[in-house]
Amino acid sequence: MGVDPSLIGKNLRAFQMGINAHDRENPTHSAYGIGLAHYDLERMGFDEGEEVLPGITIHADGGQTGNFRVLCDGDHAGELEAEQAEVVEAVSTQPATIPVGAPDDTPR
């Protein structure tokens, strides 16, 4: 049983949009592939290493079914650590007192 060509077309369009977004946000990295769960790779009829877009190949990875990942030659782990450090620095070191309940002059 063949795969519906409209399904392939929708996925190729989504792959291209993901690659474009990645390349726009990460100009120093080059995307080389799309990572799919092995189940999705087989369900859509792709072969491991198949070129689906110019310079973009399909790869089975351990990701979740129904999602794809843009694979690139950059290291995003350092960026993630920087983002986490920014979040940690934003946490206050001083306790804040927040009143709870209605003020005493409110009729009950």
| Predicted local distance difference test score (pLDDT) of residue 101 | 62
For 31, residues 6+ apart whose C-beta sits below 8 A from its C-beta are 19, 22, 23, 56, 70, 71, 72
Judge whether 94 lies within some domain.
no
Domain with 14, as residue range(s), is 5-89
Give me 32's structure tokens: 């080389």
Judge whether 97 lies within some domain.
no
User: pTM here?
Assistant: 0.65
With 70 as the cut, is the pLDDT of residue 84 above it?
no
Within a 10 A sphere around the Cβ of 41, how many other Cβ atoms? Answer: 20
* β-bridge partners, 31: 72
15-38 confidence digits (pLDDT tens):
999 999 998 988 888 899 999 999
**Complete edge-to-edge strand list for the sheet that includes strand 56-61:** 51-53, 56-61, 31-37, 68-72
40-76 confidence digits (pLDDT tens):
888 888 999 999 999 999 999 888 888 899 998 876 5
Judge whether 71 lies within some domain.
yes
| Predicted local distance difference test score (pLDDT) of residue 63 | 81
Q: What is the dihedral of CA 29, 60, 39, 31, to 10 degrees?
A: 20
Judge whether 51 lies within some domain.
yes
**How many domains, in total, are found in the chain?**
1
